[in-house]
Structure 1
Amino acid sequence: MIRFLFRFIGFWLVAGGFVALIVDGTRSIAASALVFTSTGDAWFALSPGTLEQAERSGRTGLPLIWNSAILPLLSLPAFLLLVVVGLILLALGRVRERSRFEVSR
């Protein structure tokens, strides 16, 4: 059941990453320059309140982790982060092949 959940969420994240890549590609063609939407900008566009709440709690609770780990992730292109996390979840949820030599009980 957990593997199915990992695969399901992974497929949706990879699909969302490709959608973000297409949006960035369209904007790049229109601007005649490379344009990437950062993860922080995408999060702010979708739900500004939750981003502000996460930033507030991150800066007061664990400022070292917020500054050294979360801020660099928020500056990555959105498509890259979505695809990488989706592929990791797909790898975690993959169905393992049974060996031809395994004896079934």
Structure 2
Amino acid sequence: MIRFFLRFTGFWLLAAGFVALIVDGTRSIAASSLLLMSAGDAWYALAPGSLAALESWARAKSPALWENVLTSVLSAPAFLLLLVLGIVLMTLGRVRERSRFEVG
């Protein structure tokens, strides 16, 4: 059941990553220059309150966590972050094949 959930979530993150890539590509073609939406900008466009809540929580726990780690992750292109997360979840949820030499 957990593997199914990981694969299911990974599949939808991969799909969202490809959609974000197509949107960035369309915007780039229209502007005749490379335009990539950062993960932070995409999150702010979808749910600004939750991004502000994450920032206040991270600053309360450890200001270095917000400044060094989370700002770096949120400045990455949204499509890249979604694709990487999707691949990681799909890999974690994959069904492992049994070796024909395995005993048991």
Q: TM-score range by the shorter chain?
A: over 0.9
By how many angstroms is 1:10 displaced?
Answer: 0.4
> In 1, distance between residues paired with 2:14 and 2:82?
6
By how many angstroms is 1:60 displaced?
Answer: 2.0
Q: What is the correspondence of 1:1-105 to structure 2 with a 5 Å cutoff?
A: 1-104=1-104
* Percent identity between the two aligned chains: 62
By how many angstroms is 1:26 displaced?
Answer: 0.3
TM-score (norm: length of structure 1): 0.94
By how many angstroms is 1:103 displaced?
Answer: 4.2
By how many angstroms is 1:53 displaced?
Answer: 1.1
By how many angstroms is 1:28 displaced?
Answer: 0.1
Moved over 6 A (4+): none
1:80 alignment partner AA = L
TM-score (norm: length of structure 2): 0.95
The gaps in structure 1 that reach 5 residues or longer are none
1:34 alignment partner AA = L
RMSD of aligned C-alpha atoms?
1.0
> In 1, distance between residues paired with 2:2 and 2:38?
30
1:47 alignment partner AA = A
By how many angstroms is 1:102 displaced?
Answer: 3.1
Number of equivalenced pairs: 104
Instruction: Tell me the alpha carbon deviations over residues 9-55 of structure 1, each in whole angstroms, 9 at most, x when there is no partner.
Output: 00000000000000000000000000000000000000011111111
> In 1, distance between residues paired with 2:82 and 2:96?
24
